[in-house]
Structure 1
Amino acid sequence: MRFNGDFHIHTNYCPHGSTDSMETYVYQAIEKGLDAISFTEHAPLPPSFTDPAPNKDSAMQLKDVDKYILEGHKLKQAYKDKLKINIGFEVDYIKGYESETRQFLNQYGEQIDDAILSVHMLHTPNDGFVCLDYSVEAFSDIITLFSTVDAVYQAYYQTIKSSILADLGPYKPTRIGHINLVEKFSLQFPASHRHEEELIHLLHLIKQKNYSLDANTAGLYKPYYQQMYPSSKIMEVANQLEIPLVPGSDSHTASAVTKGFDQYPSSIMLSNPSNIT
C-alpha cells in the first residue's frame, strides 16, 4: 500500500522533540516518496496557563511562532516541485481556556494550511491540571489524583467531547488527534474495561460535525501501549461511519516520518486532510 502523505509531523521547535531541522524532515519525506506532509507543531499553550509537565516542555514558545511559519513557507517554495508542504499546528484543547485558544487561532489561522485538535491536559479533581502522557510514573500520580484508572479515562473522554463541541472560532481544527491517548500506559495501568462505548459515542459526534480523525502510528512504539491511536477496531468503526482517517506518524525526529505506516490494516481506508488537495 502506498501512502500519499504524513500529516502529523513535529519539528525542532518542539522542546520535547529532536534538533532535526525542518528541512531534514522534508528530505526524509521526499526520500520515502511522499506527495505531501503537514508540519503540525505543538501550538503555544495559552498565556495564562501554566504548563503542568515536569519540564514545562509541552509546546513551542509563542516567540517562535512567526519564525516557524516563515521557515515553513520558505521550505514550501523551495521544494514545491517535489513535495506539498503544509504548515500548521497541533492545538491543545484545555478546558476553561477556550477564549485564549480562539484568540491564537484567529491570529494565525489565515497563515496555516492544516491543524489538529488534541487533548494532553486534564483538569483534576483538586482544580489543577496534569499532562496526561508525560511518563508512566506521572500517570501513576494522575491515577492517585482521580482515585481510579477508569476515572482518568472518563475525565479524558469527557474532555475530548468538550473539544469536539467547543466554539474555537472559524479556524478551529477539525481533525481530532490521537483520540485514545489516555491508553498510552494501559499495559501498566489497565482500565476495568475497554471504554469502547465512549469512543464510539465520540465517533458519532465527530461524524455529526463532519470532522476527521488522526490515524496515528506513534502508539505502536509506546512500550505500555503498542497499538495505533485509535485501535484497528475503532478505525473500522470510523470507516463505517465514513469519517476520514488521516495518516500521521506524530514524528518528533526526521527518521520517524511514516514510521509504522506499513502496519495500517489493509481494511482501513485512509484520507488526505479535507482542506488539502
Structure 2
Amino acid sequence: MKRDGHIHTPYCPHGSKDSLRMYIERAIELNFSTITFTEHAPLPNGFIDPVPDKDSAMLRTQLEDYINDIQSYQQQYKSNILIHVGLEIDYIEGYEEQTREFLTTYGPYLNDSILSVHFLKKANNYYCIDFSEDEFARIAEIYGSVDNVHSQYYSTVKSSIKADLGIYKPKRLGHITLVNKFQKKFASTESFESTILSLLDDIKAEGYELDYNGAGISKPLCKQSYPAPWVVKEAIKRNIPLVYGSDAHAAQGVGQHYEALVNALIK
C-alpha cells in the first residue's frame, strides 16, 4: 500500500492555495492508494502565535469547512483513492488541557492525525523553531546555545509522548528531528543520541507511529529526512511503525522524496 500520511491543504495560511482536488489528483498520478490531509490544527484558545506573520495554523472558524470539504472528496474519489480526514496537532507545553478539550470535540471527525512539536516554551514566552534561519539564530541566542535548543526540543517531544490528551490523541509523532531544519548553518555539538534513543523507547512503549517525513531533504540547510536516517534504523530495530509523509504544502510536493526514503529502508 503506497501511502502519504502528511499532506497540507489550501487551508494552510503559510502554504499554497492549490485546491484539495489538485493534491488528490497528484496523489493518484503517483499511484498512492491512501493519503491523509493533516492541516495545522487551530492553535489552542489563549495561545498567541509567536511567528511574525501569525500564520502557523488555520483558524477555528475554518475547521468545519475543512472537515466537510475533505469528506466530500472522500466520497467523490472513493473508487480511486482512500482519503483520510486528519490534522497536525501542535503539542504546546502549558496548553495540554485546551488541546485535550479540542480533541474531545473534534476527534470523532478525524480518521488519522499527527502530533508535532513546533513551539518551545521558555519562561512565559514561546518560540517557533522552524520559522526561519534568522529566527532560529535568535532562539539559540535566547537559550544560550544551539545545543540548548536541541535539548529543550527533545524534552518537549518527550512531554508530548507522555501527555494525557484524551482518547483522541494522535498516535503518530511528527518529524521528531525537526530541530535539524537549519543544521548546516546551526549544527549542534552534541549528538543527542542517547536522548533520541530514549524517545524511541518511549514511542515504542506507548505503541505510537513515526512520521517518516521527506520535507527536510528539500530544505537547503537540512538535506535530510525527519527523522534522520540513523534514527529511522533504530526505530526499525524497535518495530516502530513508520508512515511516509511528504509534508506537502503544494500539490507538487505530494510524494516528495518517497523513493529515496523507501530505498533507505532496504539499505
Q: TM-score, normalised by structure 2?
A: 0.98
Aligned residue number for residue 194 of structure 1: 191
Alpha-carbon separation, structure 1, partners of 2:53 and 2:144: 25
Structure 1 residues 137-176: aligned runs within 5 Å: 137-176=134-173
Is contact 2:229-2:264 (8 Å) kept?
no
Alpha-carbon separation, structure 1, partners of 2:228 and 2:96: 29
- Deviation by residue 1:47-68 (Cα, 9 ceiling, x = unmatched): 1000001101000110000000
Aligned residue number for residue 182 of structure 2: 185
User: How far does residue 266 in structure 1 lie from its aligned partner after superposition?
Assistant: 2.9
How many residues in Structure 1 have an aligned counterpart in Structure 2? 266
User: How far does residue 21 in structure 1 lie from its aligned partner after superposition?
Assistant: 0.7
Task: Give the aligned residue type for 2:18.
Answer: D
Q: Which runs of 5+ in 2 are unaligned?
A: none
2:131 to 131, 134, 159: 134
Q: Which runs of 5+ in 1 are unaligned?
A: 270-277
- Deviation by residue 1:199-256 (Cα, 9 ceiling, x = unmatched): 1110000000000100000000111110000111110110010000000000000001
Alpha-carbon separation, structure 2, partners of 1:220 and 1:240: 23
Q: TM-score, normalised by structure 1?
A: 0.94
Is contact 1:232-1:265 (8 Å) kept?
no
DSSP-derived class of the 2:210 partner: strand
CA RMSD in angstroms, aligned pairs only: 1.0
User: How far does residue 194 in structure 1 lie from its aligned partner after superposition?
Assistant: 1.9
Alpha-carbon separation, structure 2, partners of 1:86 and 1:70: 12
Alpha-carbon separation, structure 1, partners of 2:216 and 2:81: 26
Is contact 1:39-1:88 (8 Å) kept?
yes
User: How far does residue 81 in structure 1 lie from its aligned partner after superposition?
Assistant: 0.2
Task: Give the aligned residue type for 1:131.
Answer: C
Task: Give the aligned residue type for 1:261.
Answer: Y
Alpha-carbon separation, structure 2, partners of 1:157 and 1:267: 24
Aligned residue number for residue 235 of structure 2: 238
Is contact 1:122-1:155 (8 Å) kept?
yes
Aligned residue number for residue 35 of structure 1: 33
Is contact 1:217-1:250 (8 Å) kept?
yes
1:87 to 85, 88, 97: 85
DSSP-derived class of the 2:220 partner: coil
Task: Give the aligned residue type for 2:109.
Answer: Q
Aligned residue number for residue 252 of structure 1: 249
